[in-house]
């Protein structure tokens, strides 16, 4: 009897150990670190010149009043306004087109749209960076030789779009697969009966298919929202190529700079916690907002 009572815990143990060691403990440690700061005295050169002192919420106040950090939040909001609608709109469009099944190159198209997702963001950024740099870009060469003239994508007006483009290129395929899978699960009778009732393909798509895959759309939206708040690899890797991406371009880059170039883990910890809380609040807030309408029809 006792053995039976213990069995569930034994099965749960690996997951719990993993969770505790690699998620809960680091989060708690980060929260702990964020409440302290290093206080230096004098020249700061002797062995006792540095002490860790209690900072309370001081690091949070500093982070939230830092103009560069606030600017990065605004920048990322704008970035999200570009990336999320374009990426999800593209993903939905591609998924509907593939699902409509009027093409013979379906599987090929599906793979080629999905493929960029398999390219790591670092590689994608370097690749696109190469294509953006006017002197080495084949696109710029073609545009200039055809007399059109190419814009400088690293200029301060366009750099946001340049970064967004890398994310859209990399993320559309994944979201398309999620939506497409949901579309394939719709019984064909529904489309057929709509067709018999005289609905056009467009009407079937908008009135039958899209409402049914709404949960998938919501899920991809939440994923994209989180990815937007945590944008890092693309700007970080495009930064060395340009004058217009600062070390605090995105909130996560500020964390990286504080932790790894300024060696100030305490303020990096506070900023990480702020980003994590904002991510949780936005994702759960959104889910709560749409939850009843989106998932209600299933129950």
Partner 1 sequence: MKRLVALTAILLLAATGCSGTDDNEGESGGKVELTYWSWAPNMDKVAEVWNAAHPDIHVTVNKQDGGDPAVTKLLTAIKAGSGAPDVMQAEYQKIPTLVAANAIADIAKEAGSLKSKFPDSAWNSVTLGQSAVYGVPQDSGPMMFFYRADIFQQLNLQAPTTWEQYADVARKVHAANPKQYLGTFSANDPGWFSGLSQQAGASWWGVKGDAWSVNIDDANTRKVAQYWGGLVQEGAVLNTPMYTPEWNAALNDGTQVGWLGAVWGPGVLSGSAPATKGKWKAALLPQWDAAKPANGNWGGSATSVTTQTKHRKQAAQFAGWLNTDPAALKALAQTANVYPAATDATATALTTPPAFFAEQTDFYALAAQAAKATNPFTYGPNVNVAYNAYNDAFGKAAESRQAAAFTAALGTMQTTTLDDLKKAGFKTA
Site residues for partner 1 per CB under 8 A = 10, 13-14, 17-18, 20-21, 25, 38-45, 47, 49-50, 68, 129-130, 133-136, 155-156, 239-248, 257, 260-263
Between 106 and 134, whose beta carbon lies closer to partner 1?
134
> Whole-number minimum distance, CB 129 to partner 1, in Å?
8
3-state SS of the chain is: CHHHHHHHHHHHHHHHHHHHHHHHHHHHHHHHHHCEEEEECCCCCCCCCEEEEECCCHHHHHHHHCHHHHHHHHHHHHHHHHHHHHHHHHHHHHHHHHHHCCCCCHHHHHHHHHHHHHCCHHHHHHHHHHHHCCCCCHHHHHHHHCCCCCCCCCCCCCHHHHHHHHHHHHHHHHHHHHHHHHHHCCCHHHHHHHHHCCCCHHHHHHHHHHHHCHHHHHHHHHHHHHHHHCCCHHHHHHHHHCCCCCCCCCHHHHHHHHHHHCCCHHHHHHHHHHHHHHHHHHHHHHHHHHHHHHHHHHC
Between 103 and 157, whose beta carbon lies closer to partner 1?
157
> Whole-number minimum distance, CB 27 to partner 1, in Å?
15
> Whole-number minimum distance, CB 8 to partner 1, in Å?
13
> Whole-number minimum distance, CB 278 to partner 1, in Å?
23
Between 241 and 287, whose beta carbon lies closer to partner 1?
241
Between 131 and 294, whose beta carbon lies closer to partner 1?
131
- For residue 133, CA distances in Å to 5, 118, 136, 139 come to 64, 24, 6, 10
Between 66 and 201, whose beta carbon lies closer to partner 1?
66
> Whole-number minimum distance, CB 119 to partner 1, in Å?
18
Long-range contacts of 183-187 (CB under 8 A, 24+ apart): 183/95, 183/96, 183/99, 183/209, 183/213, 184/99, 186/212, 186/213
How far, in Å, CA of 78 to CA of 277, rounded?
A: 20
> Whole-number minimum distance, CB 102 to partner 1, in Å?
41
Between 146 and 263, whose beta carbon lies closer to partner 1?
263
Between 70 and 81, whose beta carbon lies closer to partner 1?
70
> Whole-number minimum distance, CB 25 to partner 1, in Å?
8
Between 175 and 248, whose beta carbon lies closer to partner 1?
248
> Whole-number minimum distance, CB 285 to partner 1, in Å?
33
């Amino acid at each position: 009897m006792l053995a039976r009572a213990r069995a569930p815990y034994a099965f749960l143990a690996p997951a719990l150990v993993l969770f505790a060691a690699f998620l809960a403990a680091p989060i708690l440690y980060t929260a702990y670190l964020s409440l302290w700061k290093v206080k230096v005295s004098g020249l700061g050169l002797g062995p006792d010149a540095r002490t860790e002192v209690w900072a309370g919420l001081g690091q949070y106040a500093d982070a939230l009043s830092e103009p560069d950090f606030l600017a990065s939040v605004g920048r990322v909001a704008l970035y999200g306004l570009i990336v999320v609608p374009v990426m999800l709109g593209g993903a939905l469009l591609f998924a509907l087109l593939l699902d409509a099944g009027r093409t013979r190159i379906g599987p090929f198209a599906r793979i080629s749209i999905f493929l960029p997702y398999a390219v790591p963001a670092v590689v994608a950024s370097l690749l696109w960076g190469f294509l953006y740099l006017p002197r080495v870009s084949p696109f710029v060469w073609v545009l200039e030789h055809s007399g059109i003239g190419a814009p400088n994508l690293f200029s301060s007006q366009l750099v946001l779009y340049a970064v967004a483009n890398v994310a859209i290129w990399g993320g559309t395929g994944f979201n398309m697969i999620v939506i497409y899978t949901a579309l394939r699960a719709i019984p064909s009778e529904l489309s057929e009966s709509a067709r018999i009732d005289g609905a056009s393909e467009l009407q079937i798509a908008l009135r039958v298919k899209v409402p049914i895959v709404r949960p998938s759309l919501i899920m991809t939206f939440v994923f994209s929202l989180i990815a937007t708040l945590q944008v890092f690899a693309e700007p970080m890797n495009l930064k060395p190529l340009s004058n217009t991406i600062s070390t605090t371009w995105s909130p996560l880059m500020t964390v990286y700079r504080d932790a790894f170039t300024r060696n100030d883990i305490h303020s990096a910890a506070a900023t990480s916690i702020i980003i994590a809380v904002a991510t949780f609040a936005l994702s759960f807030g959104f889910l709560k907002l749409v939850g009843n309408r989106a998932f209600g029809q299933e129950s």
